């Protein structure tokens, strides 16, 4: 079996099972270009190693390529198309990625810096749009792509609910939001020169067009620099826009501990709210922060000392 045929069949069967599979497809196509359309059984460990260590071999990229190829080779080995997997036995030592959890002070610095960030005439996003987008992402825990694809018809300000359609796992979900978000969105919708027809984007450029993810990412990188927020650990990445989603999850969990809520019962609700298919996906978002650790320790102390809280 040729590698191109193996890739096409594997991708088709994954998509037939309901997976979007975009990331693995890109990696497998890249691997095909790297090896050429050789026979599947002729792929060598040296070829695989060269691909893993090639361009874009930052920790997350290296691990992503490794995971995709392991699943691909295991699939065909289980069906008798491969005798052994050509994956290298030694694994590259990589740093475990830890998201940046913004403090409330960080969030204030970011919002205060928005006017300075969007002051340039070349900015395609207005100050009000960028500020509302940041508040919306933090308050809802939404993925950036989900927020940028929203249309006005998807936002029910009377009920305080957003309908997210065609998400990462081809599912739609309802995301409730509170009165603070409603107030900010209402003010945003009354900005001059907005196009407020039902099927127009919620977040628009100054010309009323959809905002691209690239514009949002580059704007945030500029904003972070102006606000002076940076990491001083060994992480490959500086604080990212996507880290607002991680921050939402951690702050929500911290607040539940502070309120003495039944965290174990509420975690599945958080998972559903974030659009995850399993609790294990949500657990990757729950980075331990000093504030979260303090609240968890207080909960344990109450339990250990014979308090009523035994949840």
- The CATH number of the domain holding residue 30 is 1.10.150
Measured CA to CA, the distance from residue 275 to residue 13 in angstroms comes to 24
141 lies in the same domain as 38? no
What is residue 311's predicted lDDT score, i.e. its pLDDT? 46
127 lies in the same domain as 208? yes
79 flagged as catalytic: no
Given the structure tokens 């990462």, which residue do they identify? 168
**Neighbour count for residue 239 (Cβ, 10 Å):** 22
182 lies in the same domain as 297? no
Residue 213 lies in a domain: yes
Three-class DSSP category at 151: strand
What is residue 310's predicted lDDT score, i.e. its pLDDT? 42
Name the residue range of residue 63's domain: 3-78
Residue 253 lies in a domain: yes
52 lies in the same domain as 160? no
130 lies in the same domain as 192? yes
74 lies in the same domain as 25? yes
Q: Give pTM, 2 decimals.
A: 0.67
73 lies in the same domain as 149? no
Among the listed residues 27, 131, 245, 246, the single catalytic one is: 245
Among the listed residues 81, 242, 252, 302, the single catalytic one is: 242
What is residue 95's predicted lDDT score, i.e. its pLDDT? 53
248 lies in the same domain as 298? yes
Residue 288 lies in a domain: yes
Domain termination residue (choose one: 227, 251, 276): 227
Measured CA to CA, the distance from residue 124 to residue 168 in angstroms comes to 27
74 lies in the same domain as 115? no
Residue 149 lies in a domain: yes
284 flagged as catalytic: no
Number of domains the chain contains = 3
With a cut of 50, list the residues of the chain below it in pLDDT: 300, 310-311
What is residue 285's predicted lDDT score, i.e. its pLDDT? 67
What is residue 111's predicted lDDT score, i.e. its pLDDT? 96
pLDDT tens-digit profile of 113-131? Answer: 999 998 876 789 999 999 9
64 lies in the same domain as 162? no
Cα dihedral sign, 137-141-143-148: negative
109 lies in the same domain as 223? yes
245 flagged as catalytic: yes
Measured CA to CA, the distance from residue 202 to residue 148 in angstroms comes to 7
Phi, psi of 241 (to 5 degrees): -65, -40
143 flagged as catalytic: yes
Domain termination residue (choose one: 78, 96, 121): 78
223 lies in the same domain as 150? yes
168 flagged as catalytic: yes
What is residue 201's predicted lDDT score, i.e. its pLDDT? 94
Domain termination residue (choose one: 62, 78, 94): 78
What is residue 248's predicted lDDT score, i.e. its pLDDT? 92
Among the listed residues 14, 20, 168, 184, the single catalytic one is: 168
Among the listed residues 27, 65, 224, 276, the single catalytic one is: 276
What is residue 227's predicted lDDT score, i.e. its pLDDT? 96
What is residue 75's predicted lDDT score, i.e. its pLDDT? 93
Among the listed residues 143, 151, 194, 258, the single catalytic one is: 143
Residues 243, 230 contacting (CB under 8 angstroms): no
């Amino acid at each position: 079996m040729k590698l191109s045929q193996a890739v096409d069949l594997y991708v088709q069967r994954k998509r037939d099972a309901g997976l979007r599979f975009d990331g693995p497809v890109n990696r497998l196509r890249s691997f095909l270009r790297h090896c050429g359309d050789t026979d599947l059984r002729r792929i060598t460990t040296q070829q695989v190693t060269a691909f893993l260590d090639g361009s874009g071999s930052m920790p997350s990229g290296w691990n992503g390529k490794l995971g995709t190829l392991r699943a691909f080779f295991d699939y065909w080995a289980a069906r008798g198309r491969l005798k052994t997997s050509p994956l290298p036995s030694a694994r590259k030592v990589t740093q475990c990625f830890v998201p940046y959890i913004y403090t409330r002070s960080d969030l204030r610095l970011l919002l205060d810096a928005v006017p300075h960030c969007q002051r340039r005439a070349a900015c395609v996003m207005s100050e009000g749009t960028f500020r509302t987008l940041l508040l919306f992402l933090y308050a809802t825990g939404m993925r950036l792509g989900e927020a940028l694809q929203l249309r006005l018809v998807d936002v029910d300000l009377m009920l305080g609910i957003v309908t997210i359609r065609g998400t990462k796992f081809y599912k739609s979900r309802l995301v409730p939001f509170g009165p603070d978000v409603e107030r900010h969105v209402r003010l945003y919708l009354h900005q001059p020169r907005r196009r407020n027809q039902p099927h127009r984007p919620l977040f628009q450029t100054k010309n009323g067009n959809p905002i691209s993810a690239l514009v949002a990412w580059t704007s945030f990188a500029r904003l972070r620099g102006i606000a002076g927020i940076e990491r001083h650990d060994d992480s490959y990445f500086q604080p990212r826009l996507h880290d607002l989603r991680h921050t939402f999850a951690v702050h929500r969990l911290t607040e539940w501990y502070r309120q003495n809520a039944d965290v174990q019962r509420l975690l599945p609700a958080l998972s559903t709210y974030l659009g995850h298919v399993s609790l294990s996906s949500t657990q990757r978002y729950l980075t331990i922060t000093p504030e979260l650790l303090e609240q968890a320790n207080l909960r344990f102390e109450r339990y250990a000392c014979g308090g009523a809280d035994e949840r």
